[in-house]
A and B are shown apart, each in its own frame.
Chain A
Amino acid sequence: MQLPNPTELATPLFIGLVVAEMIFVRLAGRGRYEMRDTATSLIMGFASVVSGGAFAFLFIAFARVLAPYRIADLGYAWWAFIAAFLLDDLTYYWWHRASHRIRWLWADHVQHHSSQHYNLSTALRQPVTGAFTPGLFFRAPLLLLGFPLPMIVFVHGLNLVYQFWIHTEAIKRFPAWFESVMNTPSHHRVHHATNARYLDSNYAGVLIVWDRMFGTFVAEREDDTPHYGIVKNLGTYNPVRVALHEWVGLFNDVTRARSLRDAGLYLFAPPGWSPDGSRETSDSIKRRWNEYRAAEMAGE
């Protein structure tokens, strides 16, 4: 069955909404745009589409390898689309969570988080090196359950289209019922923030219920405005350096590791892990921040 590519169809909408947001930011003063940051984000979005197309064969090959082992053939019934969408969103949650907790995956995903801005152009700052990570394996459950490959690609596209509009500071909050079920700009601002209390939270794609279920939900607070980017913000707008910086660091660490165990941990432990603990992980930042807050409160 031939299904449309939602991200391709939505591209004019993406451009229109970025224009609208830029005008809104200029008039209302809520949010920030910076020319070179925007250019980097958009170029990376373009490069991501090209690299996605170039490496699509990997996903097709992966699906073919798994095809003999699927437990059913679910076909294209309407309910299968809904089930595929929900399960894809669940597997997205776990892939996204792993992408923040496993450095090999982070080397790719960090590219999306590398801007200190949070606007609709940031949504388009997509990684270009996904083919070099084991991220594909997170798609295995849907393939093994028997959802057709075109359906999986289609619902995943819908998921990505939904995630575009939540990258904005222009929208504060939606009614409580919506905020409790859906991923929203407020929830995703928290996800992109480097404030200690917000680190490693809100991994959802479409439904925030996954974070609530698995204990990773953190609400945005009025008294702790999100600051965006990564713990060690990048000193460049060069898209090539943005795309490669964590890979270079990872390569250096793995090749200079003193043992096989250390090399493995550099790959699979959380970003910032080091054998002597001299670098900072999100856990150590949170711990230090909590200790500092406790000391401050005791001092008061």
Chain B
Amino acid sequence: MPVLYLAGSLAGIAMLVGLNFLLFGRVRPEVGTVDSITQRLMRDIPGFRPGRTIIGADRRVAVIENAATRTLVLVEAIGDSLVTRQLTQGFLANVGRLGARLSLELRDFTYPRAVLVAPSERVARDWEARLKP
């Protein structure tokens, strides 16, 4: 394979990523509002009904209850997209808390950890109890 072709391809990649940045900037990841999260989850989970919700202080991570099944769903903004995971038994490996900061360890190769900062320590403690596997 010609070295020139490979070098040209790498230069092309750098140029395109740079152009992408110039035209669209760098997106600040945000999960949005309860309504927009619900819209998204209704798409991913037929019959989804929103229950209690917590959105992190940095608005990157949220946990929302599916009132239809009494299960919890984790939502994280990555780039301009959302990644969702149903927190089924066995998927959530551990939940840690340090003050108002909740740390969720997941059994997922591409999404091993989510951090959610609750509005207060009391709220974090409440959600920790709900999340504990």
Q: Say if the beta carbon of B57 comes within 8 Å of chain A.
A: no
- B30-38, B75-83, B95-103, B123-131 - the one binding chain A: B75-83
- Which residues A230-244 have CB closer than 8 A to chain B? 232-238, 241-242, 244
> What is the 8 Å Cβ interface bit string for chain B, positions 12-27, against chain A (1 contact, 0 not)?
1101110111011111
A15 to B108, CA, bound (A): 34
Shortest CB distance A9–B (Å): 10
B79 and A36 within 8 A (CB): yes
Among B10, B27, B43, B85, contact of A34 (Cβ-Cβ < 8 Å): B27
Knowing A11-B5, A50-B1, A232-B85 touch, does A19 contact B16 (C-beta < 8 A)?
A: yes
Q: Closest residue of chain A to B21, judged by CB? A: A35
- Which residues B57-108 have CB closer than 8 A to chain A? 76, 78-85, 108
Shortest CB distance A60–B (Å): 15
Q: Closest residue of chain B to A279, judged by CB? A: B88
Among B26, B76, B79, which residue has the most Cβ atoms of chain A within 10 A? B79
Tally A residues with Cβ within 8 Å of B. 47
Tally B residues with Cβ within 8 Å of A. 35
Knowing A227-B43, A233-B81, A289-B46 touch, does A46 contact B13 (C-beta < 8 A)?
A: yes
B110 and A35 within 8 A (CB): no
Shortest CB distance B106–A (Å): 8
Shortest CB distance A162–B (Å): 20
A42 and B13 within 8 A (CB): yes
Knowing A11-B5, A34-B79 touch, does A18 contact B16 (C-beta < 8 A)?
A: yes
Counting from the closest, the 9 A-B pairs by CB-CB distance are A235-B111, A292-B46, A116-B81, A234-B110, A42-B13, A236-B110, A34-B79, A53-B1, A26-B23
Q: Pull 29 A–B residue pairs with CB atoms less than 8 Å apart, ordered by A.
A: A22-B16, A22-B20, A26-B23, A26-B24, A32-B80, A33-B20, A33-B23, A34-B24, A34-B79, A35-B17, A35-B21, A35-B25, A37-B81, A42-B13, A42-B17, A46-B10, A49-B9, A53-B1, A195-B43, A227-B43, A233-B81, A235-B76, A235-B78, A235-B108, A238-B110, A241-B110, A242-B110, A245-B110, A293-B46
